[in-house]
Amino acid sequence: MTDTQSLPGGSLMGEPSETGRFGEFGGRFVPESLVPACFELEAAFRTAWADPAFHAEYEALLRDYGGRPTPVTECANLSKQLGIRLLLKREDLTHTGSHKINNVVGQALLTKRMGKQRVIAETGAGQHGVATATAAALFGLDCVVYMGEVDVERQALNVFRMRLLGSEVVPVASGSRTLKDAVNEALRDWVANVESTHYCLGSVMGPHPYPWMVREFQRILGAEAREQCRAVLGRDPDVVAACVGGGSNAAGTFSGFVDTDARLVGVEAAGGAAIGRGIPGVVHGMKSFLMQDEHGQVAEAHSISAGLDYPGVGPEHAHLAASGRADYPSAGDEEVLRAFELLARSEGIIPALESAHAIAWVVAAAERGELAPGTTVLVTLSGRGDKDVAQVMDMVNARTS
């Protein structure tokens, strides 16, 4: 099993500062009621993450229950078509169908350590909600998942899945009724129930220690991918790409390659491009790039992918962008839909709409010559597309009718 001990030091993708800063981004901008809980969580995580017994339990669960390690698949057909060498890190093959399980298993173990019996979560596409509901079932925790009404509708299958697993799903009717509003509602629940409840946040966002802790729980995917790429290619890939909403699969992936020569590319949804279209701001406990208006009111994101339909981004990505180590282009709904179909037909892999953003960027970059022939590219396929099939069917039917 890959070693998940974190790297020491303050270099890129090391530990944040004492106040939870990655460069100028991050922090702990939460109501006073929650500040002690953030300190408690940070202390619990530090202790656990320095404890070999915790790592052993976490890694054994991800192996025996979660299906890790996931393979890296070389896409022979699509590589030939694009004139590059394309590898996929297959997080779609984990239990529950996405990388979210890596984080949730870690946080569920921490919840037990902190002696809490109830977990809450926000979810967009439902992947994090399903992963949390799964871990709650396994560990015997009470679980409530907040989900925007728009997402409840377009991800009906995942809503039923969570209920099947014994969780309560609460539709959120405020604001844009998507991921941003689900986070608001989860924070409100946490403010009221902080003494009994752990907020199992699903991405590298929110107040310190979440952005750091969730990246550490996702480090395993980048560490595996690095070894696997070396085995397949005999060296590191030239380009490493992943989709970015909050940015947890990208953070885990990048952590495995930040000290290599690989170009790191985080692909945002065009309608939720916090780095591409936002400016620094503070919401959901963190200072980061944020889509907002001239007064500082948070803008509503719009994307076909519920998981990327978010106006903010994790603070470490803001720092990676500001420092120039990673870049963050975006992909629009139509090219994402084409990439979704392309991967299905050329490789027999149906990606999540979120992951299809990373594929869409690779296709576009190869076609416009940004990726020279023979370039080696690793894409993290963060999740499988089963949940999106009904939505895509409607869109494809609408297009052809």
Residues designated as active site: 75, 99
Rounded Cα distance between 324 and 82, Å, is 27
Query: In angstroms, what is the minimal distance from the CB of 292 to another protein?
Result: 7
The answer to whether 37 contacts another protein (rule: CB under 8 A) is yes
The answer to whether 147 contacts another protein (rule: CB under 8 A) is no
Nearer to another protein, 37 or 225 (CB): 37
The answer to whether 172 contacts another protein (rule: CB under 8 A) is no
Parallel/antiparallel/unpaired status of strands 85-90 and 72-74: antiparallel
Contact residues for 18 (Cβ-Cβ < 8 A; gap 6+): none
Nearer to another protein, 150 or 221 (CB): 150
The answer to whether 35 contacts another protein (rule: CB under 8 A) is yes
Burial (Cβ within 10 Å: 0-12, 13-18, ≥19) of residue 372: exposed
Choice from 60, 137, 191, 389 touching another protein (CB under 8 A): 191
Q: How many CB atoms lie within 10 A of CB 83?
A: 14
Nearer to another protein, 122 or 238 (CB): 122
DSSP reduced 3-state for 377: strand
Nearer to another protein, 73 or 176 (CB): 176
**Phi and psi based region of residue 81 (left: phi greater than 0; alpha: psi -120 to 50; beta: remaining):** alpha
Nearer to another protein, 266 or 285 (CB): 285
Helix (H) or strand (E) holding 331, with range, is strand 330-331
Beta bridge partners of 384: 351
Query: In angstroms, what is the minimal distance from the CB of 281 to another protein?
Result: 5
The stretch near another protein (CB under 8 A) out of 52-60, 187-195, 216-224, 319-327 is 187-195
Q: State the first-to-last Cα distance of the chain, in angstroms, to the nearest integer.
A: 50
Binders of another protein in range 270-309 (CB under 8 A): 280-285, 287, 290, 292, 294-298
Query: In angstroms, what is the minimal distance from the CB of 322 to another protein?
Result: 16
Binders of another protein in range 199-228 (CB under 8 A): none
Rounded Cα distance between 49 and 228, Å, is 24
Look up residue 185 and give its two tokens: 């509602």
The answer to whether 36 contacts another protein (rule: CB under 8 A) is yes
Chain residues in the site for another protein (CB under 8 A):
19, 27-37, 174-175, 180-181, 184, 187-188, 191-195, 280-285, 287, 290, 292, 294-298
